[in-house]
């Protein structure tokens, strides 16, 4: 199983030597005992036997120790290989519906031990903690080669832990794109489920976008670049990767910014893998964040690449206005961000939507173009929403004539961002969701303003 080598040494020439002729016979009388060349005496024979016994006493314990070390090494290797096999087998059992052999090989190459992770994070020191989410805490660490990493330690109490762990390994390990956060490794040992990502220094988009001071560092050029980067990342997920991925939880909080303020889509715990020729699916369990989920997903549990497009449209409008959709409060006539943008667009006041912190340094045609693309993405009719290939083309072309947006889907805000984790899709749940923010406590069955 392992490479080895053998070394032979002797005190006489044993390779390539030429044998000499036999010594001539002599009729000389025998030499006396103990004389040079004579037969050994009885005392000499006794010394030889004592030396032999001494060598035997030394050699036997050494042989026993060598055998014991060999047995212990064999048992250790066997246990280690078995442990690794069981770990990879657990990963294999988690990863279902995808090519098993390829996944195991990929997983093995990314596997870290818990001891290594503890060294990297200084035993999960509080000083190394850089964030905390619904599925656990995130720590900053440094690998042996000096590379900075973000270590995501999934909470043991989270019911979503195993599902998230499976999705993050299967999805992210197979994806390579500059606008997607890169998975560097994982650890599955005992009850621990740990993911290791590249470290992205500038936190998430919402940290800048919705803070009155931090948003000043996001001028229009940077915002426009962020919109384009997110679009390219989604295009890769939907069409250009070896798998077709529906993210299902795209929002500003899941967009990380690197040192150049370029976006990287993160958090694939809710992602779903579709077949190469499949672009949609159904589930009786919905998961995501209110205000970003497409209406067909919240109503019928139907997710598709177009539901990601809807979420992207909401993110575009947040980037332009600097306002958070889930906590939006502007006037009685506009109870959510999408409706607020639609009313301004309908009146021909698209530029009035721009975040005041940007100032006067912006390109008017780019702002209007992005508002229009955002409204096209949040169309209630799924068939009217563009695919991401069209979105990227519209954002990169100044000569293309964009379609006219229609009235978008309407959501009543509950004034707080609420993440839905595997909520069953049924009529009672839908009515409960809609009545949470109803002013008169009545059920709303149509998602249009009255």
Q: Which positions are annotated as active-site residues? A: 249
CA-closest candidate to residue 250, choices 289, 222, 280, 211: 289
Look-up: residue for tokens 């409960």? 432
8 A C-beta contact, residue 195 and residue 152: yes
The span from the CA of 260 to the CA of 322, in Å, is 20
Q: Report phi then psi at 20, rounded to 5.
A: -90, 165
Q: Note the helical H segments in 236-387.
A: 295-300, 305-321, 337-346, 364-377
> How many Cβ atoms from other residues are within 10 Å of residue 298's Cβ?
23
> How many Cβ atoms from other residues are within 10 Å of residue 306's Cβ?
25
3-state SS assignment for residue 416: coil
8 A C-beta contact, residue 413 and residue 327: yes
8 A C-beta contact, residue 403 and residue 394: no
Measured in whole angstroms, the distance separating CA 435 from the mean position of its chain's CA atoms is 36
CA-closest candidate to residue 326, choices 372, 288, 374: 288
> How many Cβ atoms from other residues are within 10 Å of residue 157's Cβ?
7
Q: Report phi then psi at 126, rounded to 5.
A: -60, -35
Strands 129-133 and 285-289 come out as unpaired
């Amino acid at each position: 199983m392992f490479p080895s080598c053998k070394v032979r040494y002797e005190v006489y020439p044993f390779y390539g030597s030429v044998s000499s002729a036999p010594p001539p016979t002599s009729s000389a009388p025998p030499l006396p005992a103990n004389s040079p060349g004579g037969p050994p005496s009885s005392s000499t024979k006794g010394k030889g036997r004592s030396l032999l016994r001494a060598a035997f006493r030394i050699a036997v314990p050494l042989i026993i120790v060598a055998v014991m070390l060999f047995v212990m090494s064999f048992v250790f290797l066997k246990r280690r290989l078995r442990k690794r096999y069981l770990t990879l087998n657990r990963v294999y059992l988690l990863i279902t519906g995808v090519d098993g052999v390829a996944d195991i090989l990929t997983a093995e190459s990314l596997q870290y031990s818990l001891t290594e992770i503890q060294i990297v994070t200084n035993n999960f020191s509080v000083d190394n903690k850089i964030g905390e989410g619904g599925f656990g805490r995130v720590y900053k660490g440094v690998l042996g080669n000096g590379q900075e990493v973000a270590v995501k330690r999934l909470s043991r109490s989270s019911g979503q832990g195993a599902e998230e762990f499976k999705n993050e390994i299967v999805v992210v390990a197979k994806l390579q794109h500059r606008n997607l956060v890169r998975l560097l490794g994982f650890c599955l040992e005992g009850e621990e489920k740990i993911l290791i990502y590249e470290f992205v220094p500038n936190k998430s988009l919402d940290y800048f976008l919705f803070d009155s001071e931090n948003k000043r560092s996001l001028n229009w050029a940077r915002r426009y670049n962020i919109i384009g980067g997110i679009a390219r990342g989604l295009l890769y997920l939907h069409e250009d990767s070896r798998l077709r991925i529906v993210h299902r939880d795209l929002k500003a909080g899941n967009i990380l910014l690197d040192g150049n303020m370029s976006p990287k889509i993160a958090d694939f715990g809710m992602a779903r893998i579709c077949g190469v020729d499949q672009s949609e699916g159904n589930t009786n369990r919905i998961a995501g964040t209110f205000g970003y989920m497409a209406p067909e997903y919240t109503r019928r549990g139907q997710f598709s690449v177009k539901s990601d497009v809807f979420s992207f449209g909401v993110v575009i409008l947040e980037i332009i206005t600097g306002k958070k959709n889930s906590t939006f409060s502007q006037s009685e006539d506009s109870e959510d961000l999408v409706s607020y943008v639609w009313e301004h667009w309908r009146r021909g006041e698209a530029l009035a939507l721009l975040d005041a912190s940007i100032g006067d340094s912006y390109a008017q045609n780019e702002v209007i173009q992005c508002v229009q693309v955002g409204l096209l993405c949040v169309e209630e009719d799924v068939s009217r929403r563009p695919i991401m290939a069209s979105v990227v083309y519209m954002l990169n072309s100044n000569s293309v004539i964009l379609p006219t947006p229609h009235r978008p889907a309407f959501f009543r805000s509950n004034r707080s961002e609420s993440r839905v984790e595997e909520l069953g899709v049924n009529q009672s749940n839908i009515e409960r969701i809609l009545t949470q923010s109803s002013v008169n406590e009545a059920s709303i069955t149509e998602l249009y303003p009255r």
